[in-house]
Amino acid sequence: MKSKIFLLSAIMLIFLLSIPSLLQAQGKRETAEYHVNLGISHFKNDEIDEAIAEYQKAIALKPNLASAHFNLGIAYGEKEMLDEAIAEYEKVIQLKPDFAQAHYNLGVAYGNAGRHEEAKREFKKAAELDPQYAEAYANAGTASEYNEEGVRYGKGSDQEETVQQYQKAVELKPDLLKIHLRLAKTYIEQGKTNEAITEYEKAAELSPDDPDIHYCLAALYQQKGRDDEAIREYQKTIKLDPKDFDARYNLGLVYNRNEKYSQAISEFKNALFLKPISAHCYSAISFAHRENGNIDEAIKAAEKAVQYDSKLAVAYTNLATAYALKKDYPSAWKAVRMAEKLGDPQISVLIEQLKKISKEPGK
């Protein structure tokens, strides 16, 4: 079944005859089972309408043939005929209440129809019938993310149950990449950064060539102050995607924080090549130039920053600091008052320092 919300929607077609038996059946009386297998052949060739017609013929011949209803539900799902798919799976469950795959597929159909509580019920039932059914736990977790209005973690959703179901899924099947990523996202929303890092680390092992995973892991390392690891992961991101502006910019910020200003300048320049009008990047490279002793370049970069974003307070602070070091105090005072007006929380320190070395013009 095609997925809207539910990512793990594996289908399982039920064959009733072996291929030799199917061939023998041709030319003889066409049984319900014959039509089921003929429908499967059409389905495998992406001839969905023809498959539906064959399953319907099977049901006309044998109304309680569970395999015909089950495979018809799959075909309806492929065409996103969710109400029809739901009706077929419900019929299968009436005939075979302990058929875990039918409960699972019904859960997928319910979920994609926005009926999340019913979806969760069916996934849980599938897992109850087959305790090793990792995908059932995974989708039970996904269903728990949404309330009946389809709002993720809205009123009526259950974040803790989501985590529990996802944990069970990856315990049973550690290679469920998408579930590690969804679990990481949930942990981030819960403020559990360390747990999110663990999930992204597992995801990176499963998909080492995915730059987005390395970027997310780097950003979390950066947030936790694990700068060596952040640098490593940003570098991996850039190697995989050299045009990732955010990775280059953030790597520059980490270098700035570690007083590696030459490396920071290099990364900011690379970032600006990708996004030449980034005020934040110009502000950050201004800081790096200043700390690296190049005041003129610091002023130029800060002026570029305020040119591209006249409301970026930190850029005015960097500009004021650079002008003060240049001993251009009138320009420093002008920039510092703009930073103050825009609400830079650090500007009061610079104002007091300026007062000690110069008189503000007009005061």
Tell me the domains of the chain and their CATH numbers: 1-145 (1.25.40.10), 277-363 (1.25.40.10)
Contacts of 320 (CB under 8 A, 6+ apart): 332, 333, 335, 336, 339, 347, 350, 354
Short-list 234, 210, 209, CA closest to 223? 234
pLDDT in tens, the chain (363 residues): 333 445 445 456 655 543 334 444 444 468 999 999 999 999 999 999 999 999 999 999 999 999 999 999 999 999 999 999 999 999 999 999 999 999 999 999 999 998 989 999 999 999 999 999 999 999 999 988 877 666 776 555 578 899 999 999 999 999 999 999 999 999 999 999 999 999 999 999 999 999 999 999 999 999 999 999 999 999 999 999 999 999 999 999 999 999 999 999 999 999 999 999 999 999 999 999 999 999 999 999 999 999 999 999 999 999 999 999 999 999 999 999 999 999 999 899 999 999 999 988 887
Contacts of 94 (CB under 8 A, 6+ apart): none
Alpha-carbon span 134 to 109, nearest angstrom: 18
Stated as kind and residue range, the H or E segment containing 222 is helix 211-223
How confident is the model at residue 337, as a pLDDT?
96
Alpha-carbon span 249 to 254, nearest angstrom: 9
Angle between helices 66-78 and 82-95 (to 10 degrees): 160
How confident is the model at residue 29, as a pLDDT?
60
Alpha-carbon span 123 to 101, nearest angstrom: 9
Alpha-carbon span 295 to 286, nearest angstrom: 8
Alpha-carbon span 121 to 253, nearest angstrom: 47
Alpha-carbon span 271 to 285, nearest angstrom: 10
The residues with which 146 forms a beta bridge, in sequence order, are 152
Contacts of 26 (CB under 8 A, 6+ apart): 34
Alpha-carbon span 339 to 332, nearest angstrom: 11
Stated as kind and residue range, the H or E segment containing 122 is helix 116-129
250 neighbors 222 (Cβ within 8 angstroms): yes
Is residue 61 classed as helix, strand or coil in its secondary structure?
helix
DSSP one-letter code for 360: P
How confident is the model at residue 157, as a pLDDT?
59
Contacts of 255 (CB under 8 A, 6+ apart): 231, 261, 263, 264, 267, 288
Q: How many CB atoms lie within 10 A of CB 292?
A: 17
Q: What is the largest CA-CA distance in the chain?
A: 106
What predicted TM-score, i.e. pTM, was given to this entire model? 0.86
Triad 60, 63, 68: Cα angle to 5°: 85
How confident is the model at residue 18, as a pLDDT?
38
The two three-digit tokens of residue 173, written as one number:
């099947």
